[in-house]
Amino acid sequence: MIGMTSYDLQACAGIPAATKQLNDTTQIFVYTGTHAQPNYGGSTLIPVGDIVTTISQFGGGGGTTCTAVIRLDHDRVSDVHYTGDNDELVGTDGICSIITRGCARQPEGTMKRSAGGIFGPVSAFHPPITPNQSTSGTYSSQSGTVVLNPDAKSSDPAVIPRTQ
C-alpha cells in the first residue's frame, strides 16, 4: 500500500473511521476492524472448543480487533501501523487483513510493487522493508521552537520555549 494515493486507498479500504490533519502535507487515516471469535459450541466427546482456545492462548493468537493507522504524506501512503489484539495463531497482525484485504486482492496502480522471492518480501512474521519518512511528514514547525523542561523541580510547564 506504500505509495498509494488517498483516492486509491479509500477505493480499496473504504472510508476511514477517523482522519487527522497533522500539518500542511501530512494526514492520518484510521481504520478499524473486528473479526468474530469462532464458536465451537458446547461440550462434546472431543472438547474442540477447549483445545482451540488453549492453543490460541499459548500460541499468541486469538485476536479479534485491529486498528490500522495510515500516514499519508503529500497525499500518498507513506507508513502503515497496526494496533490492537490483532495477532492470529500463525503470524502477527493477521486480523488486520480484514482492513487491507481489498487493497491486496486488487492492487491499485499507485501502489508500490513488492518483489523478490517466490512469495515476495512479505511474511506473516515481519512487515516488508519501507523507506524512511520524509522530513515534511514527520517534522512539525512548532516542535522546533520548544524543548522539554529539564528541571524536574521547576514550576514552569513541562514544555518550554527554546532559548537561542
Which run of H or E residues covers position 30? strand 26-34
User: What are the grid coordinates assigned to 35, written together?
Assistant: 473479526
Query: Does residue 15 register a pLDDT over 90?
Result: yes
For range 108-133, the mean pLDDT: 60
pLDDT for the residue numbered 18:
96
CA atoms 6, 81, 110, 25: torsion sign: positive
Task: Evaluate if residue 112 carries a pLDDT over 80.
Answer: no
Structure-model confidence comparison of residues 6 and 43, the more confident one:
6
Amino acid of residue 156? D
Give the model's confidence band at 1: pLDDT under 50 very low, under 70 low, under 90 confident, else very high.
Answer: confident
Residue 66 cell numbers, joined? 485491529
> Could you tell me the pTM of the whole model?
0.63
7 vs 128 pLDDT, higher one: 7
Give residue 28's pLDDT band: very low, low, confident or very high (50, 70, 90). very high
- Mean pLDDT, the chain, integer: 74
Mean pLDDT of 129-148: 65
Higher-confidence residue of 82 and 85: namely 82
Q: Is the pLDDT of residue 32 over 80?
A: yes
Bigger pLDDT: 57 or 99? 99
Q: Which residues pair with 159 in a beta bridge?
A: 148
Mean pLDDT of 45-53: 65
DSSP 3-state of 101: helix
Look at residue 160 in the predicted model and tell me its pLDDT: 80
CB 54 within 8 A of CB 62: no
Hey, is 29 helix, strand or coil? strand
**Which residues on adjacent β-strands are paired with residue 8?**
none
Cβ neighbours for 73, distance < 8 A, ≥ 6 positions apart: 25, 26, 133, 134, 136, 137
Q: Residue 66, class by beta-carbon neighbours within 10 Å (0-12 exposed, 13-18 middle, 19+ buried)?
A: buried
| Local confidence band at 97 (pLDDT 50, 70, 90 cut-offs) | confident
- Whether the per-residue pLDDT at 16 is higher than 90: the answer is yes
